Structure 1
Amino acid sequence: MKQIIVHCRDSLTQVALLEDRVLTEFYAERPAEKQLVGSVYNGKVVNVLPGMQAAFVDIGLEKNAFLYVDDLLPAHLEKIPSVKPSISDLVRPGQELLVQVTKEPFGSKGARITTHFSLPGRWIVFMPNADYVGVSRKIGSEQERSRLKDIAEKIRKPGEGLIIRTVAENETLEALERDFNVMRSDWNNVLRRAEKSGAPVLLYREPGVLDRVVRDAFTDRVDELIIDDPVRGEVLVNRVREMSEELAGRIHIYRGREHVQVAYRVREQLDKAMKRKVWLKSGGYLVLDRTEALTVIDVNTGKFTGTDDPEATVFTTNAEAADEIARLLRLRDIGGIVLVDFIDMTSDKHRAEVAARLEEAFRKDRTKTFAVGWTKLGLMEITRKKARESLDDSMFAVCNVCGGTGKVPVERSFPNRRR
């Protein structure tokens, strides 16, 4: 059973995704904190650094955005030269440049930007300059993939590119063309605004969190969407009805006395999942530590004593931990490099099964996640695409006493220290 639970109050919107009543994704947004990923700007090149093959572009934010040479070259592989030109041959300081944000600013780093534009719709991702067609690999039927590719070739113009999304399986040509025309119109509006505007200026912004989740996650595999705001609920029903009458019927207004997040155990599960120490059902536990460069997860048997066979006990704990780790990465939206210190296993078969279990769990994640493999030290290396700040960063602030270390000086160690 899959559910989407939406809480709206004043300017705050929070969206939770549940699978068999287990919290798997959580998003929060205030109007002042609109995400930048997907936004299109007319920017102005500030610095060009040939030694780094990169440029810094002013798009109107506090910090200049970072543009790498690969994001300036053509999006289609066949058009990329075998020897990359110097970035100074492609852009110059003071030049106005149309760009799209691919990564939010993090810490001291500015946003990452590209000239490979993409506008996601319900069934199609439109890439105005890509000049190729792709079909989601999750669509297994070769016949269906071929049908969808034929439709894509019919509706696109020379030079345009698009990707058919998984949810487009079995959709009609009319539905796909209607979706495509909306995105093409949005892009033409961007170009018209760019011609009339100076730089830096925002030209296009991705929809809010609720609209994005409905667009990307509210499919026929979701049993119900529950929202506690009657006004926004009615607006949502009317909007979804344009896509599917059946899906519109799965939207329900919550009128219970309890807070909707309490009634569906969202708060309870979120509180547990955001801790440094996360307990497993068996009695084992995980410890998550984040650094500037990567996230480290340690697996422990804890209270779980298992059977008389130590290897079986270790494997059971590691297998359960693999499922929970995949859920936590997805829920907390942790990106970048992740190293997992599973409990040592002597059996190669067990090691392979744990890796396979991770890969299987990652298939549920809409963000690209890979189990790279075991390092020489026996650690599992994982990578997960990082586009925006994690849930940890958005929900917690660094302690002004310990500065984020989790430790404060012991008085006897610094007797003359002034606070």
Structure 2
Amino acid sequence: MKGRTIILDHFGEVEAAALMVDGQLDDLLIDGDAPRVGTVYRAIADRPVKGQGGMFLKTPDGAAFLRQIKGLAPGQPILCQVTGFAEPGKAIPVTAKILFKSRYAIVTPDAPGLNISRRIRDEPERDRLLEIAHEAMGDAKHGLILRSSCEGADSDAISDDVEAMLALAITVLDDAETSMEVLAEGDGPHILAWRDWVAKAEVVTDEGGFGDHAVLDAIDMLLTPQVNLAAGASMFVEPTRALVAVDVNTGADASLAAGIKANMSCARALPRALRLRGLGGQITLDLAPMPKKDRRSFETALRQAFRGDEVETTLVGWTPLGHYELQRKRARAPLLEVLP
């Protein structure tokens, strides 16, 4: 089936959202028990860890880790925001640089000024959006970024979104209490789908939509490590405690170009494979054999593939053994941990 379809449903009793593109599962969000990314706490500084340049904090959801020591003392309250998911037994990663993000707007308390996404290049459109930003923000001291989704969007919808995020920011940041507390919950899958999947799509909200649109079948396929690639090649994506290992195989292709073809196919498929499985951290690629002269072409393909992926990923480079390494933000909980 051609086109984009967003399915808002539940997986068991858990809220979930799926994005199908041309009949293939392209993105998947399933709620879990861990604190949602974007949750804002009033936390209490607990103890510094000077060797790691950070501070453990106490939150209503357990221990958190902030990469900041300067200006903090044990017992001091501090506002912080969840930035990712912690591995089992580790502290929740948080930041003191809080953002209030929605479909059209991001309010930035620590970065004053009105900014328009660089992806919007049409000057009349940028002028229109800047007028909306000035009117909606008024004399507020906080900063604002209008996202690329604002291009061509209704002015009232943008203005309402900015005002809602500004009101939330003021409510949270002006709270004068000092006790440990959750000040704002992070967005769940349905809100995240509305917020981030902004391209034109059919939206399905009927109960049982996952079954009707083959999402359940696609999830079943994600439970196995094998990912089929072009021309009979494959890769196996297998998380371990220390890292995510990706093994690329050429299959039955015995031609001289089999290795580079399989590796290029891996580069194109890897962002989706990691995104759907919710995998991050250290990622090591054990690629199919190919001449060193082809490495630059592979790196270019990999860079282009991750350019369209929203999860922050750093392409680290080659190891002495010929593996390729990446570092990816743990922006989501692993699929195997959130499935009921």
TM-score bracket for the superposition, by shorter chain length: 0.7 to 0.9
Question: Structure 1 pair 347/67, CA: closer, same or farther in 2 (3 Å)?
Answer: closer
Letter of the 1:68 partner, please give it: R
Structure 1 position 110, deviation (Å): 0.9
Runs of 4 or more off by more than 6 Å in structure 1? Answer: none
Among residues 310, 316, 339, which one is paired with 2:284 in the alignment? 339
- Determine if the alignment matches structure 1 residue 225 to structure 2 residue 203: yes
5+ residue gaps, structure 2: none
Contact 1:104 1:387 survives alignment (8 Å): yes
Letter of the 1:29 partner, please give it: D
Structure 1 position 395, deviation (Å): 3.0
Among residues 101, 105, 124, which one is paired with 1:124 in the alignment? 105
Question: Structure 1 pair 319/49, CA: closer, same or farther in 2 (3 Å)?
Answer: closer
Structure 1 position 168, deviation (Å): 1.0
Contact 1:127 1:160 survives alignment (8 Å): yes
Trace 1:136-285 onto structure 2 (pairs within 5 A).
Answer: 136-141=117-122, 144-145=125-126, 148=129, 151-152=132-133, 155-156=136-137, 157=139, 159-171=141-153, 174-191=156-173, 194-195=175-176, 197-217=177-197, 219=198, 221-229=199-207, 259-285=208-234
Select the structure that is richer in strand: 2
Among residues 374, 381, 401, which one is paired with 2:325 in the alignment? 381
Among residues 232, 238, 249, which one is paired with 1:289 in the alignment? 238
Rg comparison, structure with higher value? 1
Please name the residue that 1:106 is paired with. Answer: 87
5+ residue gaps, structure 1: 70-85, 230-258, 397-419
Letter of the 2:209 partner, please give it: V
Residue-by-residue CA offset, 1:274-306 (whole Å, 9 max, x unaligned): 31233335222212232333211010012334x
Q: CA RMSD in A?
A: 2.7
Question: Structure 1 pair 135/293, CA: closer, same or farther in 2 (3 Å)?
Answer: farther
In structure 1, distance between residues paired with 2:61 and 2:191: 24
Please name the residue that 1:66 is paired with. Answer: 65
Contact 1:314 1:345 survives alignment (8 Å): yes
Structure 1 position 124, deviation (Å): 0.8
In structure 2, distance between residues paired with 1:341 and 1:140: 40
Residue-by-residue CA offset, 1:156-188 (whole Å, 9 max, x unaligned): 446411222110113465443321111111122
The alignment of Structure 1 onto Structure 2 pairs a total of residues equal to 337
Considering Cα pairs closer than 8 Å and 6+ residues apart, tell me whether 1 or 2 has the greater RCO: 2
In structure 2, distance between residues paired with 1:104 and 1:341: 26
Please name the residue that 1:361 is paired with. Answer: 305
Structure 1 position 34, deviation (Å): 6.3
Contact 1:293 1:337 survives alignment (8 Å): yes
Structure 1 position 155, deviation (Å): 4.4
In structure 1, distance between residues paired with 2:224 and 2:23: 20
Residue-by-residue CA offset, 1:347-367 (whole Å, 9 max, x unaligned): 62x433332222222233222
